[in-house]
């Protein structure tokens, strides 16, 4: 094996460990990759050889009655979701498929990549993120050591909760080979209430109130007029059994006042998939993911007013997707609103000039570096992806 080898596909954890030990001895960087749907996030022109993890795709253990799944980290997200759907279940969190964001086919993301990125969709406020539902894992550290943490039951954590530490680590601590996750029964149906005509500030205020109502609102988003969406306005999602959904949706509409309309199950599901996968914003523009306290969300829209940037709100205003041409300093706008901005998509020139992750405070960066050194002391796992100040997790 030489440094000219650009892509390797280990078939077993033992082969993966041997590869890591070789890379350590040769000081050869490696990039852990599943479906490659997020490969364009981070610095361009990275030098590390790619380690293709898609051979680790077996279903290890899945008993629908236990609401727990153990599966190879290289399994395609689409296959995992189909298996669960066939059994009336779903992942407990709401993963995003990044493929279409970069002009790639949908369905190629792997469950390990989803876990490694910890990026949740529209149901984040009601269902949590991948970190909240990760029970355990098996993997190989940058030291070339095979180990596991956590387990296949909910209450199985003693000592350090390494399973949750892996979520959001972007494959820079450990290459996951197997993950154990909580799953949930799939709601029988859903509906959405669309409220028309609200300003960004009024929409954010309403969404935050709605998430506190005893009506189990599953998600809340606001799409300003002018976006490429089947509906624009403030949208509240209701899930569950048919009669319950109808009753709660009617009460939500009554509490909202103003001009409302009901979006039925099929159209509602399609709309929320579009919102989750950032379909309302133009393809090809520089794309930012801004997270901040929900009540501050409308400050982003106010600061961008008059520019060519387009935006919409998810997570009741706590997540703002921004599509911006060059010259719009979205990161400074996010900082002024008390939030953080992650650069998701941009030209190679832009990616080379700025870190994808928001700059960390010195104490946080020092802690992250210590953790990195503990799992990968030789620094072989993706050392160049996020640059010298290459930040931590994208929540």
For residue 152, the model assigns a pLDDT of 67
Task: Please tell me which of 53-62, 156-165, 298-307 the model is most confident about, judged by mean pLDDT.
Answer: 53-62
Report the C-alpha gap between 53 and 36 in whole angstroms.
10
Residue 246 and residue 153 share a domain: no
What would the mean pLDDT of 6-11 be, rounded to a whole number?
90
- Same domain for 152 and 290? no
**Does pLDDT of 156 surpass 70?**
no
Pick from 387, 384, 394, 377: nearest CA to 21? 377
The answer, yes or no, to whether residue 4 has pLDDT greater than 50, is: no
Whether 144 and 212 map to the same domain: the answer is: no
Per-residue pLDDT tens over the stretch 127-136: 999 999 999 9
Domain boundary among 165, 186, 207: 186
Name the burial class of residue 348, with classes exposed (0-12), middle (13-18) and buried (19+) by CB atoms within 10 angstroms of its CB: exposed
CA atoms of 122 and 96, how far apart (whole Å): 9
pLDDT of 18 over the 70 cut:
yes
Decide if 368 is inside a domain: no
Average pLDDT score, the chain: 90
**pLDDT surpassing 80 at residue 326:** no
Q: Which CATH number fits the domain that encloses residue 331?
A: 3.40.462
Q: Answer yes or no: do 182 and 194 share one domain.
A: no
What mean pLDDT comes out for the span 170-197?
Answer: 96
Is the pLDDT score of 392 beyond 60?
Answer: no
**Could you tell me the pLDDT band of residue 46, with boundaries at 50, 70 and 90?**
confident
DSSP states of 196-211 as a string?
Answer: -S--HHHHHHHHHHHH
Please give the residue that has the higher pLDDT: either 218 or 391.
218
Residue 369 domain-assigned (yes or no): no
CA angle 293, 298, 302 (to 5 degrees): 135
Q: How far apart are CA 54 and CA 35, in angstroms?
A: 7
Say if residue 92 is in the same domain as residue 214: no
Reply yes or no on whether the pLDDT at 395 is more than 90. Answer: no
357 inside domain: no
178 and 202 assigned to the same domain: no
Mean per-residue pLDDT for 48-64? Answer: 95
Residue 389 has pLDDT above 50, yes or no: no
CB atoms within 10 A of CB 160: 9
CATH number at residue 175: 3.30.465.10
The mean pLDDT value for 184-203 works out to: 96
One domain for residues 202 and 280: yes
Cβ(248)–Cβ(216) below 8 Å: yes
Give 187's pLDDT tier (boundaries 50, 70, 90).
very high
Task: Answer whether residue 158 shows pLDDT above 70.
Answer: no
In a domain, residue 372? The reply is no
Same domain? For 80 and 218 the reply is: no
Domain assignment present for residue 387? The answer is no
Looking at 125, 156, 186, the residue that finishes a domain is: 186
**Percent of the chain residues past pLDDT 70, beyond the cut:** 94
> Do residues 189 and 245 touch, judged by C-beta distance below 8 A?
yes
Q: What is the largest CA-CA distance in the chain?
A: 67
Region of 313 please: left (phi>0), alpha (psi -120 to 50) or beta.
beta
- How would residue 252 be classed by pLDDT, with cut points 50, 70 and 90? very high
pLDDT value at residue 30: 95
What average pLDDT score do residues 244-272 get? 95
Whether 144 is in a domain gets the answer yes
Domain identity same for 88 and 5: yes
Q: Which of 144, 167, 186 is the last residue of a domain?
A: 186
Asked if 56 and 173 sit in the same domain, the reply is yes
Q: How many domains does the chain have?
A: 2
How far separated are the first and last CA of the chain, in Å rounded? 37
Of the pLDDT bands very low, low, confident and very high (cuts 50, 70, 90), residue 64 is very high
Residues 103-119 as b or e (16 or more Cβ within 10 Å = b): ebeebbbbbbbbbbbbb
Tell me the C-alpha distance between 56 and 9, whole Å.
Answer: 10
- Domain range for 253: 189-350
Residue 103 has pLDDT above 50, yes or no: yes
Count Cβ atoms below 10 Å from residue 385 Cβ, excluding itself: 19
Does residue 21 form part of some domain?
yes
Distance CA 31, CA 287 (A): 23
> Would you place residue 229 in the very low, low, confident or very high pLDDT band (cuts 50, 70, 90)?
confident
Other C-beta atoms closer than 10 Å to the C-beta of 87 total 16
230 and 134 in a single domain? The answer is no
Q: Do residue 232 and residue 167 come from a single domain?
A: no
Domain-embedded: residue 359: no
pLDDT above 50: residue 394: no
């Amino acid at each position: 094996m030489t440094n000219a080898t650009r892509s390797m596909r280990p078939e077993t954890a033992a082969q993966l460990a041997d590869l890591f030990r070789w890379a350590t001895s040769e000081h050869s960087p490696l990039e852990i990759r599943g479906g490659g749907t997020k490969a364009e996030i981070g610095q361009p022109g990275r030098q590390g050889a790619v380690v293709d993890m898609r051979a680790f795709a077996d279903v290890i253990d899945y008993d629908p009655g236990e609401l727990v799944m153990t599966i190879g980290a290289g399994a395609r997200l689409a296959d995992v979701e189909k298996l669960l759907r066939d059994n009336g279940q779903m992942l407990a969190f709401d993963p995003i498929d990044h493929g279409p964001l970069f002009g790639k086919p949908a369905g190629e993301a792997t469950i390990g990549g989803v876990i490694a990125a910890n990026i949740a969709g529209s149901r984040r406020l009601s269902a949590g993120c991948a970190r909240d539902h990760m029970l355990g894992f098996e993997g190989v550290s940058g030291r070339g050591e095979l180990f596991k943490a956590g387990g296949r039951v909910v209450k199985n954590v003693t000592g350090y909760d390494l399973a949750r530490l892996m979520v959001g680590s972007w494959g820079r601590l450990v290459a996951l080979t197997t993950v154990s996750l909580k799953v949930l029964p799939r709601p029988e149906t859903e509906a959405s209430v669309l409220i028309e005509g609200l300003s960004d500030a009024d929409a954010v205020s309403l969404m935050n109130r709605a998430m506190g109502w005893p009506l189990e609102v599953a998600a809340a988003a606001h799409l300003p007029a002018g976006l490429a969406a089947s509906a624009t306005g403030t949208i509240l999602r209701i899930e569950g059994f048919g009669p319950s959904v109808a009753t709660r949706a009617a009460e939500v509409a009554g509490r909202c006042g103003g001009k409302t309309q009901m979006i039925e199950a099929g159209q509602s599901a399609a709309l929320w998939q579009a919102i989750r996968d950032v379909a309302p914003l133009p393809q090809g523009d520089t794309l930012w993911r801004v997270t901040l306290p929900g009540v501050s969300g409308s400050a982003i829209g106010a600061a961008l007013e008059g520019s060519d940037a387009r935006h919409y709100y998810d997570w009741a205003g706590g997540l703002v997707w921004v599509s911006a041409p060059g010259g719009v300093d979205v990161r400074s706008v996010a900082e002024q609103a008390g939030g953080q901005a992650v650069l998701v998509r941009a030209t190679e020139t832009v990616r080379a000039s700025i870190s994808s992750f928001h700059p960390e405070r010195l104490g946080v960066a020092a802690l992250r570096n210590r953790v990195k050194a503990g799992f990968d002391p030789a620094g072989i796992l993706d050392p160049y992806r996020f640059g010298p100040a290459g930040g931590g997790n994208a929540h």
